[in-house]
Structure 1
Amino acid sequence: MEEPLSNRLGNVLQGFIPGLSTMDAPVSLNSNPRANDNNEGAIIIDMPSEGAAGGTGDNPAEGNGNEAGNNAEARGNTASEIRAVRPLLERVLPFVLILLVKILYDHRLGVVVLIGLIGTFIHHNSSLKRQVMLRDKRQIHSLLIMLVLLPFNIFFCYYVFLEQELYKSLIFLKPNFENYDLWTLLWVTGITDTVIKFMTIAAKCAVAILPRSCLSFKRRGKHYMMIEQVSQLYRLLTPVPVWIAYLSDYTDSHWIVSYLLTFVYILAKANAVYVMGQEVRTAVRTVFHDVHYGNSPAEEDMKNAGDACPICQDVFKEPIQLHCKHIFCEECVAMWFDRERTCPMCRAKIVESPKWRDGGTTTYVQLF
């Protein structure tokens, strides 16, 4: 059977046009039956445009449509993944909750005591900061109540767990536990850390109760900072005995691994103690050195400043002029810098970090 004319012409064109047979889009070679009279039997080569072939041609609407389709497909994949994970969560979540309830019930006394201590700490910490801010208007009876309640809470905690002898952690000894599992370790360190925080707040309450004649308000921030830094160093050391006992226990592991972990822990702890020791040294030196935030203003500057301190809104007492030229009472601005590091008027930076000078105690729990 004779080969059709269109196929023969196609073979000829493939010889003259390299790569014609490998084009992404099909090539149509056909006779147009409706050709005009002058071009009857003409061959029409239908080659789709680049945009039609790849979907990335000159038509922007088509490109945006493809992008929207890809986004919809991605959202569909995410939704399908969530639907695939949901049955797993529904099967696992009840057992996780059951295990959590079991652990909390088995250790219910310790959990309740720990939650009570944390709540008590948060309340007394905020109350002390508020009383420190009031200066002469502070409520002495509130400070005295805290000074009584804090030791009572410590005594109550150690009385409840008298058999475990938790108080030994305060003198760097191990409490009375047969086995030191992870839960016991974290619980003991958490209780000890909270108790030391109570002691810290009580010491700051004692400083806050002192009358102005014994200790001026502008110097109290440095004492609060020193007490806090010493407390953090103490809290950093108390977990060491129980952690060494836990890491050096090679009942379920090889003794080399246990002693290696203990050695690494001691090195890391020694570095942390050294850094904290430097901060304590700086705090102690600060207590015995007066810090001057500015100079005494001239008479002309006092006339321009007016008659009242911008902080206390009262007559200037021992006025001092900062390097930004604003004038305040020395005591007022000293207590301001116990909380802020910038000028109250223009926000120019005057001092470095004022941390722990406001009477606050860190909420961080030292577990390691």
Structure 2
Amino acid sequence: MFKSNDILRKQTALKGERKISMLVGISLAFTIHVVGVYWWYQNDDLLYPLIMLPPKSIPPFWHAIFIIMVNDTLVRQAAMILKCILLIYYKNSRGRNYRKQGQMLTLVEYLMLLYRALLPTPVWYRFFLNKEYGSLFSSLMTGLYLTFKLTSVVEKVQSFFAALKALSRKEVHYGAYATSEQVNAAGDLCAICQEKMHTPIILRCKHIFCEDCVSEWALVKSADLRSFSDGTTSLLFQIF
């Protein structure tokens, strides 16, 4: 029994090292790509919208689309770099806290969704203020765009603060903390990690596991949020 547990721990540790190596490789590849693209297109007004400033000159329609799509793609890659760093941090930390890891990944994604919603604003603001279409038309289009954009951004802000609030919550969403009597009755051995239970949780099905172990598979978000706890990110482009 103890020999098989040792083998299982060694296999788990080896898999963990491989995952960390893969995460480091992905982070380096995305970092090189993001830096390289911005260096290559440094004269194409890509950097100004990143700090919420309009391009220097009024961009043609397709150039505006180009700026927005490139920035949106690279910001998503930057978010993935941050998520990889978080995954490496939690994999190397003593006593994996899967619930906190999932909450942090969800928070990063909602922050990026908010930032990506703002990214096209300075580009289209400059585009719609083109006086060649007439002052009335440009003012009307700018006003309509900013109105619709404000509605979208308010929703993203609310979601971000909901994710931030969920980060500070301590309650367990998938069961309750087990008493010492319940733990002793179950044998005080976690069926997932095969070790003495640490902060045991009793599920609604009455099974008991370590909190960190069960959090890897259980829900880690509040009811009003979509979970990005596995590190996923939205693949849809934020064009407008």
Q: Give the TM-score band, short-chain normalised.
A: 0.7 to 0.9
SS in 2 for 1:268: helix
CA gap 1:171/1:135 in 2 versus in 1, 3 angstroms = farther
Q: CA deviation at 1:174?
A: 3.0
- The SS at the match of 2:216 is helix
User: TM (normalized to structure 2)?
Assistant: 0.80
Aligned equivalent of 1:361, options 213, 224, 233: 233
Aligned to 1:235: 116
Find the aligned partners of 1:272 and 1:327 in 2 and give their Cα distance: 43
How do 1:143-292 and structure 2 match up within 5 A? 143-176=23-56, 179-210=58-89, 211-213=92-94, 216-251=97-132, 253-292=133-172
CA positional deviation for 1:363: 0.9
Deviations 1:26-58 (A, max 9, x none): xxxxxxxxxxxxxxxxxxxxxxxxxxxxxxxxx
Deviation (angstroms), 1:137: 5.5
| 1:337–1:351 Cα contact (<8 Å) kept | no
1:337 equivalent in structure 2 = 218
Cα deviation per residue 1:161-197 (whole Å; 9 max; x = unaligned)?
2221312221112345x55232112111110111111
TM-score by length of 1: 0.54
Q: Tell me, what secondary structure is at the counterpart of 1:196?
A: helix
Deviations 1:225-253 (A, max 9, x none): 111111111111111111111122131x3
Q: 1:328 aligns with which of 209, 215, 218?
A: 209
Q: Distance in 2 between matches of 1:354 and 1:232?
A: 12
- Letter of the 1:201 counterpart: M
| Higher-Rg member (1/2) | 1
Q: CA deviation at 1:203?
A: 1.0
Matched AA of 2:202:
Q
Q: 1:284 to 1:215 in 2, by over 3 A?
A: farther
What does residue 4 of structure 2 align with?
Answer: none
Other-structure match for 1:314: 194
Structure 1 unaligned residues grouped into runs of 5+: 1-133, 342-349
- Counterpart residue identity of residue 204, structure 2: H
Aligned-partner Cα distance in 1 for 2:229–2:15: 13
Specify which structure has the bigger relative contact order, considering alpha-carbon pairs within 8 angstroms and separated by 6 or more residues.
2
Q: CA deviation at 1:285?
A: 1.9
Distance 1:135 1:217 in 2: 17
Q: Secondary structure at the match of 2:209?
A: strand
Q: Distance in 2 between matches of 1:200 and 1:186?
A: 21
| CA gap 1:159/1:313 in 2 versus in 1, 3 angstroms | closer
Distance 2:155 2:87 in 1: 28
Distance 1:317 1:303, change over 3 A: closer
Runs of 4 or more, structure 1, over 4 Å off, are 134-138, 298-310, 350-354
Q: CA deviation at 1:151?
A: 1.9
The correspondence of residues 300-311 of structure 1 with structure 2, limited to 5 A, is 301-302=182-183, 309=190
| 1:187 counterpart letter in structure 2 | F
Q: Secondary structure at the match of 1:291?
A: coil
- Given that 2:54 and 2:125 are in contact with CA atoms closer than 8 Å, whether structure 1 keeps it comes out as no
The whole-number CA distance in structure 1 between the counterparts of 2:52 and 2:223 is 37
Distance 1:154 1:138, change over 3 A: same
Measured in 2, the distance between the counterparts of 1:137 and 1:327 equals: 28
Q: Distance in 1 between matches of 2:129 and 2:110?
A: 30
Contact map agreement 1:250 1:258 (CA 8 A) in 2: yes
Residue 138 to residue 175, structure 1, CA distance change in 2 (3 Å) = farther
Q: Which runs of 5+ in 2 are unaligned?
A: 1-13
Offset from partner CA, 1:53-91 (integer Å, 9 cap, x none)? xxxxxxxxxxxxxxxxxxxxxxxxxxxxxxxxxxxxxxx
Give 3-state SS (helix, strand or coil) of 2:176's partner. coil
Once residues 176 and 42 of structure 2 are traced to their aligned partners in structure 1, the CA distance between those partners, rounded to angstroms, is 57
